[in-house]
Structure 1
């Protein structure tokens, strides 16, 4: 299931406090989705890495109660005491079987030892698939049956929406639009330590915004996404120098055009990215007016990316002209 549909589905299940498990390859943003749901709902978020825990970390430490002459369990301080939120059990199937067993009661009965999870908190877990070369243990059937299971897919359109919202370097967005398969190059059969994932492209964004000298950029990006992808990306990034002045286009609706596919991918992304940073009705009209002279598929790409980012165009007189020209591609 793609990220956009997962977000909608998981939000509904979290509201009903139905335990859910999110499966997927490493680096595709499983934990980010759950954290974003918590932020959008304005509730708490606690991320527990069960692979780093011992069984007593969840259940707590036993102590002797003088009054009852019994042993009680002191619950850990990291578990929530009140309010609303999402308790995220990350890397659940990477935890040792004894730790997974400690989670049974918490997941099903919402309590463990002397501790009881507040009614406003939902439980969501995540883990890598068994074939992804991560350290995983086969999940026992009784534990698996305590969740509703989903497998997250990598989707370029969903990633582009996220990338625009988070202001990733437009060269990265342009490159992934041009070479979709380089968003995610993980191969469980390969011994390569570096490979492209949504998470590693975030690292590339940080590298590009850092003070690393130009002679070290290739090696640094190779360390994040692999040598082949890094060479392809940096070669493509040189295309950005052949674009018309984006500010001029947005301020006047005029500019040079190109027939080169790589330039058009870069141009489409640059137009949308720059517009979103300072969105006005005038700039929208100018952007749409400029796209009337672009190759049809790239004019449509611009408008689709704007719409995915919540830009309304129905009020624009230029958009009416745009629809008349490109309606046949939208049918």
Structure 2
């Protein structure tokens, strides 16, 4: 199912508070963006125990139970995992990854809140969750009868929400500071091949590993960890960022002229990271029209042109990265600035 309207993790609890208490909810979202933890946190906020059933690990009898003889008749006895006397939150994780037979077993539980003679206690809530087929995750088509039994919410990763959560959950400060600068690296689409990709869950795992290793973590170890958790580009950029922290080598120092661009071939990952950060700084600070340029920004533009020449002397590729268009071909930097760069850089370079 494709999202038409998506919600952020910060918006979800309020929605669940009003909807999940009256109707079953199904939460869609990419792997690793926090669906399960958000549901557990919501259940805790209501004072309910969260009972999780994994659709991929269930058979129909795990829900409807097995027959038992009562008097001269038989009846199905639902498992004690479900048949509880007190209200609780029933979390059906990976529901759309379950077999069609298991999905059918959920029909009456989801719509009528009943299995056989057992009825969920008053005050219980039912929430399902699953990945989308486009996430290259295990996901089976959900029958229309099941789709129509639930309210569907689509969750998206949101860096501001995640950073708020990170501040309260001991996420490694290097990771927090990095994602403040590169919020676009919090999440990446799942690849079509079996390769690591960046998710909020992945950054959390990396944080745990880094805390365990300590701040003197060797670059080789950091390389292994990041390569096994993040996309290749994000892993390289994060390692370069850590190098800037350790050597007090940041873009501000280069902008002020206190430091030059790193020239050592062994620092090529650092040069690439600084180039990307430089590009992000220009996208943020340069106005869309030249007439909106203040005197201080005018001086900044002069310095930027000089820095681009210095960067091109070391790596034409990195200099091109700074002024390149976005992936869809849309210019990332203002047109007036790109025109000035193409006009002035050859003349400025000749002076040098």
Q: Name the TM-score, length of structure 2 as normaliser.
A: 0.66
1:17 and 1:38 map into 2 onto residues whose CA distance is 14
SS at match of 2:229: helix
User: Could you tell me whether the CA contact under 8 Å between 1:80 and 1:118 is conserved in 2?
Assistant: no
Among 233, 242, 260, which residue is 1:237 paired with? 242
The match for 1:2 is 8
Matched with 2:209 is: 207
- Corresponding position of 1:34: 39
Q: Secondary structure at the match of 1:88?
A: strand
1:206-229 alpha-carbon deviations (Å, 9 max, x no partner): 110123862322112210113321
List aligned pairs for 1:1-331, cutoff 5 A. 1-14=7-20, 16-65=21-70, 67=71, 69-188=72-191, 190-211=192-213, 214=218, 215-241=220-246
The range that moved more, 36-45 or 104-113, is 36-45
Determine the structure 1 residue equivalent to 2:263.
none
Residue 236 of structure 1: how far off its partner (Å): 0.5
Alpha-carbon distance between aligned partners in 2 of 1:217 and 1:117, rounded to the nearest angstrom: 48
The SS at the match of 2:26 is: strand
Deviations 1:1-49 (A, max 9, x none): 11111121112223x3311110011111011111111122222111111
Q: Please state how far the C-alpha of 1:260 moved relative to its aligned partner.
A: 5.7
Q: Distance in 2 between matches of 1:166 and 1:4?
A: 15
Indicate if the aligned counterparts of 1:207 and 1:221 stay in contact, CA closer than 8 A: no
Question: Cα offset for 1:83?
Answer: 2.5
Aligned-CA RMSD value: 2.4
Give the gaps of 5 or more residues in structure 2. 1-6, 257-272, 278-352
Whole-Å Cα distance in 2 between the matches of residues 260 and 42 of structure 1?
A: 53
Runs of 4+ aligned structure 1 residues displaced above 2 Å come to 82-85, 238-244, 257-263
1:126 partner SS: strand
How big is the shift at 1:231?
1.6
Which moved further from structure 2: 102-111 or 206-215? 206-215
Q: Which has the larger radius of gyration?
A: 2
Displacement of 1:114? 3.0
- Mapped to 1, the partners of 2:202 and 2:156 lie a distance apart of 16
Deviation at 1:70, TM superposition (A): 1.8
3-state SS of the aligned residue for 1:120?
coil
For structure 1, the 5+ residue unaligned runs are 245-256, 267-331
> How far apart are the structure 1 equivalents of 2:247 and 2:87?
51
